[in-house]
Each structure stands twice: as structure tokens, then as C-alpha cells.
Structure 1
């Protein structure tokens, strides 16, 4: 239960205390915290008490359940991982793992239990990639328990194969991109154009500053990303890879026309006369692209669709997947391989045409002398005693 406030009269004065009550392994724990100002501080104090109590039980050799140990694991992840990662892991465990298997002790969770979870998620219609993400979170928690000597070893959970199905990619044609930009509100037109012609992620667009642009060389440096939430700072791009992308003529012209009113190229918009420093919010960006897509008569258009549009346009114009991978900032080639089916048959036609040519006996083009000319001279045979 959440912490609650207790008022008592001591020596004629009213004293307010935050009290807590929780249960671990069938045992009730209760007490009071120091004087605090608000409910959030009291909840944080309660969480510290719960974790300390659980740590004491673990130190005493009492094996925790998955529900109990999830608090320890998530508290560690909150310190070491990003806020979005922590929120995702919390959702995976509390919504999809603990309701059915949280009562099991850590040392009693086996691979067959993971197989039960996978089958349940498949029956519920979850995507295979989503199931693998949940398994990764569960594997991290079990591995952390093994690293901290709570359990002897962590069971190896088997992920689902995702190579059986070719992922369909939605992208826009050049005419649809032009219609989307023309139909967009003025404050969103340039941002949509840059997204479709550079392949930048929405977080990278929100974090883009004037200092990252070089109009002389027509290059955009992508050095950070903005989650779009005021409680989260800007961080390095996804997979930690900084990169540069070239400006097309229309991107170059669109950026030159913008007014520099902030360090950010697309600063946060004012709302009822109020504004905040920084890039645009996540909800504002979603509203902007939905408004533009509706005006253009397009359905299911997202910022990531514009990223697919950029990659698809490059591949269909004969750009190699290796170059596309570098421009998109993909961590590995598998992520870029989803665009391979869009590549034209230029390389195949070139290979067939080359096979129709006569075989070159001297591909290097160097002058080779005949065998007789190039053979070393034979040494004369001298009979024994002939030199006397």
C-alpha cells in the first residue's frame, strides 16, 4: 500500500509523520519515516526501506521470489540504464512476467517456465521481436541475480527466430513527400522535409542545433538525440554512433529560410503564450505529422516512415546497402538488409554483361615477354679437370 500520513499530538503540538506498511514473503513490515514534505519523497523513502529489508533477507540466505527480486533489479537498472530503458523493463516484468510467474523463487525458475511464457505471448498475438525484448529483460534480471551471488547460475533463455519472415517496409513516393510537405502547417513543413531527405530519427531532429550544420560543405552532423520529454536530458544517438549526412538542394534551401530564434533549429512551440527552452516535445511532433498527413490524404504516416522513405529512395537509385547503413547509423548490416529487395538489378545486369566479354589473357595490362625471352640462361657444364 502507498505511504500515508499520520497526525499525532505530542506535548500539545501536532506532529505529522509518514507511515508505511508492506508485505514480503508473507511477513508484514510497518514503521514510520522522518518528517518529509510531500508524497513523492515519502514513496521514495518507503522504496528504500523495502529494498533494504529485501537485501537483509537475501543476505540471510532467504531466496526471494521473482516479484521481490524485480524491485532490486529495477532499482539497479534505474541507476545504470537510461530512463526509457528502465520504464520499458518495468513494463515487461510487471505486465507480462510477474502476474503469472512472480510467485516462483529465483532458483526455481527454469527454461521450461520461459517456454510457457513464450507460448502464452504467441497465443496473445505478440510480435516475435516483442517477445524477444521481454525475454531479454527477464534474462538480464536472472543474470544480475547470478552476478550478485543470489543464485548459482542463470538459465540461458532461448530467443525466437525472426528471420522466417521478410519485414514489409512502408515508404512514401517523391510525389507523396511533396504533397505531405505542401499540406503541412508552416511550423512543421521544413522538419518533415528534412526527415524525408536525410533519414534522421525524430529524436535526432528534435536535438538538431544550428551549430550542427555546415552550410559551406552542406553537411549535417548528428551528435545527439532528444527523447522529447522535459525530465530526460539529450544523449548520444541510438547505438552511440555519431554520423554526418549530406544536404540535398531542397534541404539546404529550406534550412537557410528558417529564422534563428533559438539554439535549436526547431525549438519548442508556445502553448497558450507559454514556451519552454529546448527542442519540440514528443506529443507535439506526433500531432504535427498527423495533421500534415490528414491534410495530404495519407494514412499511417509516422516519422519513422519518413526514415524508411529516405533509405528506400537511396536503395532504389542504386546506392549500396553499406553506404545506406552508414547514413542511417545502423549498428549492424541486418538492420539495413530489410531494404535489399528494393535494390534494382544493376549489379546483376553488369555481371551478366561482363561474362559476355572475351576472356582477357593479361588482365593487368602489363607487357609479358615470351617464355624463351624470360627464361634464365643455362649455365655451361664444365667437365672435371677442364680448368687445369
Structure 2
């Protein structure tokens, strides 16, 4: 399939307006393609007149960064629709044996609609499919995909650039997809069940030491001195450091969710799908009280009054300025947990501070608690020695 060069940035087109796909590039000769631009995605579809009736068909919704990558596939689909109409066939109704359905067809027409209806994280599945799986497995018949093929795909993803945890998330998605295919009687077995998970080393959490914390706070206090001028993202990083909440929980925070007088934040639905009550400390409240209220979102991007989509670039700049390396945004959550445990808080308290649905998730910090208890015991022994020496 030939690469189609996009001549004009997607951001140059007005949001929410139906635009002819041919305006994207002069290389697109096929007619009927349309697209809508939103703040974060591009929704594509095609419109035809068939046998005197106007008909339309969705061609998928893609994040801005993936739209250009998927454009050749979109154009190819429209070519196929034109070919069917030329044969007197309805362009969107392909008569075929259900057993001949390809992975891409099932993933996009059956799995994704199902995921959207039941998963908060369906966008993650959509991205994984388009970025990692459909380019490799999309053309294969669903029933022809076996254990060896799945294992090879996951091994290659791990060897190239993805972490074991990321590959395991893809594996879990594929397993759900094939279970759904079994429900639709398109395959008899789930090949993913015989592919072992990759070992994840979840104990390698990154924590800030005292010197790193001191340097980081200094940067956050005077970011402009280090060429960091995005005050909202600086506030997000400071807020994450002080609360241990998940990145997306903070970035999607609305003014209506928090009572500034009591410091109570009612998080309507967290990662586990349950409501959560968060008691903000005064330092975190001070951050919120200094922010403008020009949007319904607390940490709104001033360019569009919407939550930021990605803050990694500014985050990395902050960490570099502070001389803190190998630190991920999520590690601020681990750091908060570490400080809580090392200050003598029980794992039960840490579980509720972090909003873990299960105490098993909090057990990863048990080794920190053991070290804290050991140090406490050593301190007591030292005090006894000191007192005995004074008596002598």
C-alpha cells in the first residue's frame, strides 16, 4: 500500500466540521471520504448515494498522532466500497462466510464496540490495536491465528521496545478478544491462554532520596529560573508529589469535585470503577487555591480549557533540571507511598491513601514497612544502650 503524504497539519482544519478527505492530500483520488477533527481525535467516515439513498459508514476514530499512519488503510477501504458499488452491490454489506472474518474486521467491528460499552480504558485498547497488532495480524483470518503466531508477536514487541508490563496488557486484550470470538462461535479455542505472561519486576519502584526531593522542590518553587514556563504543568507535578494520586485523576480533576473549605475531593470513579473520598493536605489545597478558575477543570490547558493530554515533555524537563534521572510520572505515586510507610503509617492506611481496591496491591510496599520497623527496633535498642551506659 502506497504511503500517502499529508500536506496540511490536521490542526489547521476547524473542529467539528465535516471535511472532504481529499483536502488532506492531493494523492487521495477516491471520493466519498469525510473526517471530523476534535481536540484529541479524528473521526473518519464515508458517505455515498446508493440506489437513490444516502448511506454512510464509520471508518474509525484515531488519535491525532495515529491518523496519518492509518490514512492509507482508510483510503483502501473506500476504494473497496467503490468497487462493490460498481458491481451493483451495497458497499457496506459484504456477503462472506463468518469463518473468513479477519482479525482486523472482528477487532474493529465487534471487539471495539463491545469494549467501549464495558471498559473505561477502551481507548487504550484502540491504541494498542492500531499501533501494535492490526499492522501485523490484521490481514489474517481469525481462525488461522494460533499459539505460535501470538507468542511470536508478543516476543517481538518485547524485544523491540515495549516493557514486559506493556506486552502483558496487550496479551490481556488479545485474550479478551478471542474469548469474545468464542462467544460469537467464530473460533473454538483461545490461543492466548497457552502463551505465558512476561515476568514483571514491580519491585523496582523509583523513590526520591532527601537530596533529590530538596532539588526537585527548589525547581518547582522557581521553575522560570530554569526555562520552565508552563505553570499549570508545574502545579500538576507538585500536586502529584504531595498527594500520590494517579496522573489522570489529577489531570481530570474538576472544581465541582473538590470542596476547598474542607479539603475533601470526591473522586466519582477511580481506576477500579469505584467512588473514592480523598482528604487533601493543606499544601495540596494551597496549590488549587492559587490556580485560575477559567475552566471547569482545575488543571486546564489555557489554550483550550481542557485537561492536558500528555505532560511528559515538561515533566522530563523538570526532572532534568533537578538532576533526577530514571523517574517516571507514576513514580511520584510510589514515592508518596514510600514516605507514608517510612513515616510509620500502616499498610492499611497506605492502601486507603492510594485508593487501592485490594490490600494485595499495597503489599508491594511491605518491604519498606519491614525496614521501618527494623530501624525502629534498632533505635529502641540504641536508647536502651545509652540509658544503661548512663547508669554505669
* Bin of the TM-score, shorter chain as denominator length: 0.5 to 0.7
Match of 1:18 in 2: 32
CA offset digits 1:287-313 (Å, max 9, x no partner): 443443344343344432322221111
Match of 1:33 in 2: 48
Which of these residues, 103, 106, 130, is aligned with residue 69 of structure 1?
106
Kept after mapping to 1: 8 A contact 2:257/2:265: yes
TM-score of the superposition, structure 2-length normalised? 0.62
Separation in 2, partners of 1:32, 1:295: 52
Match of 1:343 in 2: 369
Kept after mapping to 1: 8 A contact 2:147/2:192: yes
Separation in 2, partners of 1:259, 1:91: 33
Match of 2:87 in 1: none
Match of 1:131 in 2: 167
Kept after mapping to 1: 8 A contact 2:266/2:277: yes
Which of these residues, 134, 138, 151, is aligned with residue 187 of structure 2?
151
Match of 1:323 in 2: 349
Gaps of 5+ in 2: 5-19, 23-29, 34-45, 51-55, 61-73, 85-90, 224-228, 380-392
Kept after mapping to 1: 8 A contact 2:207/2:335: yes
- SS of the aligned residue for 1:34 comes to strand
- SS of the aligned residue for 2:265 comes to strand
1:282 matches 2:319: no
CA offset digits 1:146-192 (Å, max 9, x no partner): 11122344345245355674531112244244223213355444433
Gaps of 5+ in 1: 6-15, 20-30, 224-235, 271-275, 354-388
The count of aligned residue pairs is 307
Which of these residues, 283, 291, 313, is aligned with residue 339 of structure 2?
313
Which of these residues, 270, 284, 301, is aligned with residue 268 of structure 1?
301
Separation in 1, partners of 2:101, 2:298: 51
Separation in 2, partners of 1:208, 1:202: 10
- Describe the shift of the 1:300–1:111 C-alpha distance in structure 2 as closer, same or farther (beyond 3 A): closer
Which of these residues, 238, 242, 253, is aligned with residue 271 of structure 2?
238
- How far is 1:196 from its partner? 0.8
Which of these residues, 226, 234, 249, is aligned with residue 204 of structure 1?
249
Kept after mapping to 2: 8 A contact 1:114/1:157: no
Kept after mapping to 2: 8 A contact 1:18/1:34: no
- Describe the shift of the 1:187–1:41 C-alpha distance in structure 2 as closer, same or farther (beyond 3 A): same
Separation in 1, partners of 2:246, 2:348: 19
CA offset digits 1:366-385 (Å, max 9, x no partner): xxxxxxxxxxxxxxxxxxxx
- SS of the aligned residue for 2:151 comes to helix
- Describe the shift of the 1:164–1:287 C-alpha distance in structure 2 as closer, same or farther (beyond 3 A): closer
Match of 2:96 in 1: 57
Separation in 2, partners of 1:163, 1:95: 23
Separation in 1, partners of 2:346, 2:181: 44
Separation in 2, partners of 1:102, 1:157: 20
- How far is 1:120 from its partner? 3.7
Which of these residues, 183, 195, 200, is aligned with residue 222 of structure 2?
183
- SS of the aligned residue for 1:337 comes to helix
Q: Computing the radius of gyration over CA atoms, which structure comes out larger, 1 or 2?
A: 1
1:113 matches 2:149: yes
- How far is 1:336 from its partner? 2.6
Alignment of 1:94-109 (within 5 A): 94-98=130-134, 101-102=137-138, 104-109=140-145
